[in-house]
């Protein structure tokens, strides 16, 4: 059986790192990976391939462009690849990014069976591009690989057949476990002069937070306030930095005394910072799961999550982007009064 996995962004790379290793001696499955090029910086892509030890077999090299152009270009180039170089029996798409959507549509047009890894997750928030990407991809899929029970329940409600659903657990956490020794050895704490449990790690990049001036102004107010009492580390995503510069706001935070504004980090460094942080403040999807596995308190600045298990039993909570509420939870965590969490199955 010929299988083609399509990846495009940082979290996708992490979710597929163990597949080739698992299938190394398989005579039944020929597995190839294609990278669309949605994430293209050395710091957002190449460093992940080298650390995670995965080598894409094909690159589509799409241009950095609007979401629409990227989706269109991925569809065209994937069709060329499939017609001329490698015709798979199954295409596997991952997560909820624009590359996922584009490849799902291409698979459908080319009449190739589609499997979705991390399927069935729903935030019920259609203002987020990822939610529509998830819904459309699942509509086009025939095989569903599921990470948590809400995914299973959502797909059943949407009329999928039980025979198509496979509860495989979280492959992002499989990667985390596989690379634990390298993560533990990483020197980022010394490099940034940080001590375990004495700093807050931040990641903010959602369009809903950073694409509008008001969201960015709020972010800056929060950073300035936290800077008075907390050590902060903020690896800043390309989208966030672009917007801060566009709205002429970058200068107002670049010299805050306790804030280390740094470039996007490689996988090992980021995980090392994550598992030693006092807490994390984020608007990411995957980080809610990594913090749950590591039992690190996670304050997610969103009104909803597509990964409810991280709130139900994990160490994640959803809160509004308001300094008073953020402070209330920081105090709880400092005083050991934050909820006790456990690690979900698989």
Q: Is 205 in the site for ligand UD1 (CB under 6 A)?
A: yes
Q: Is 169 in the site for ligand UD1 (CB under 6 A)?
A: no
Catalytic residue among 39, 116, 205, 237: 205
Q: Is 9 in the site for ligand UD1 (CB under 6 A)?
A: yes
Nearest CB to ligand UD1, comparing residues 239 and 332: 239
Q: Are 278 and 199 in contact (CB under 8 A)?
A: yes
- For 228-271, give the DSSP string: TTSEEEEEPPHHHHHHHHHTT-THHHHT-TTEEEEPPPPHHHHH
Rounded Cα distance, 237 and 263, in Å = 7
Helix, strand, or coil here: 94?
Answer: strand
> How many residues contact ligand UD1, by CB under 6 A?
21
What burial letters (b/e) apply to 61-90, b meaning 16+ CB within 10 Å? ebeeeeeeebbebbbebbeebbeeeeebeb
Q: Is 40 in the site for ligand UD1 (CB under 6 A)?
A: yes
- φ and ψ of 202, to 5 deg: -120, 140
Q: Is 35 in the site for ligand UD1 (CB under 6 A)?
A: no
Considering only 21, 63, 64, 180, the residue that binds ligand UD1 (CB under 6 A) is 64
Residues of this chain, 312-331, that bind ligand UD1 according to CB under 6 A: none
Is 205 tagged catalytic? Answer: yes
Helix, strand, or coil here: 301?
Answer: coil
- Distance of closest approach, residue 101 Cβ to ligand UD1, in angstroms: 8
Half-sphere exposure of 137 (CA within 13 A, CB side): 32
Residue (of 148, 137, 154) closest to 95 by Cα position: 137
Residues of this chain, 285-314, that bind ligand UD1 according to CB under 6 A: 285
Q: Are 37 and 59 in contact (CB under 8 A)?
A: yes
Binding mask 103-142 for ligand UD1 (x = CB under 6 A): --------------------------xx------------
Q: Is 44 in the site for ligand UD1 (CB under 6 A)?
A: yes
Considering only 2, 113, 149, 242, the residue that binds ligand UD1 (CB under 6 A) is 242
Q: Is 38 in the site for ligand UD1 (CB under 6 A)?
A: yes
Q: Is 276 in the site for ligand UD1 (CB under 6 A)?
A: no
Show the CA angle centred on residue 254, arms to residues 334 and 188, nearest 5°.
60
Nearest CB to ligand UD1, comparing residues 97 and 244: 97
- Distance of closest approach, residue 71 Cβ to ligand UD1, in angstroms: 9
Instruction: Give residues in contact with ligand UD1 (CB under 6 A).
Output: 9-11, 38-41, 44-45, 64, 96-98, 129-130, 205, 238-239, 242, 284-285
Catalytic residues: 205
């Amino acid at each position: 059986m010929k299988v083609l996995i399509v990846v495009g962004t940082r979290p996708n790379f992490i979710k597929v790192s163990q597949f080739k290793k698992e299938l190394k001696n398989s005579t039944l499955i020929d597995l190839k990976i294609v990278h669309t090029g949605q994430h293209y910086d050395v710091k957002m892509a190449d460093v992940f391939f080298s650390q995670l030890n995965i080598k894409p077999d094909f690159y589509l090299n799409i241009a950095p462009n609007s979401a629409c152009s990227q989706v269109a270009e991925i569809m065209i180039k994937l069709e060329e690849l499939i017609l001329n170089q490698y015709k798979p029996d199954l295409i596997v798409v991952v997560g909820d990014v624009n590359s996922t959507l584009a490849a799902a549509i291409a698979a459908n047009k080319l009449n190739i069976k589609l499997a979705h890894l991390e399927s069935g997750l729903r935030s019920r928030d259609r203002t987020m591009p990822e939610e529509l990407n998830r819904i459309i991809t699942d509509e086009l899929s025939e095989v569903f690989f599921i990470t948590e029970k809400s995914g299973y329940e959502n797909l059943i409600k949407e009329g999928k057949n039980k025979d198509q659903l496979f509860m495989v657990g979280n492959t992002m956490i499989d990667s985390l476990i596989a690379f634990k020794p390298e993560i533990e050895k990483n020197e980022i704490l010394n490099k940034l002069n940080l001590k375990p449990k004495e700093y807050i790690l931040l990641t903010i990049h959602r369009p809903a937070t950073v694409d509008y001036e008001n969201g960015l102004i709020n972010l800056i107010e929060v950073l300035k306030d936290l800077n008075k009492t907390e050590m902060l580390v903020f690896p800043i995503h390309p989208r966030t930095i672009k917007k801060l510069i566009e709205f002429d706001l970058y200068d107002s935070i670049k010299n805050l005394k306790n804030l280390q504004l740094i470039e996007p980090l490689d996988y090992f460094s980021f995980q090392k910072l994550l598992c030693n942080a006092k807490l994390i403040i984020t608007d990411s999807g995957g980080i809610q799961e990594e913090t749950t596995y590591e039992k690190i308190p996670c304050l997610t600045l969103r009104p909803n999550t597509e990964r409810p298990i991280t709130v139900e039993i994990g160490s994640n909570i959803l809160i509004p982007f308001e300094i008073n509420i953020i402070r209330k939870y920081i105090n709880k965590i400092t005083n050991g009064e934050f909820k006790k969490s456990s690690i979900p199955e698989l």
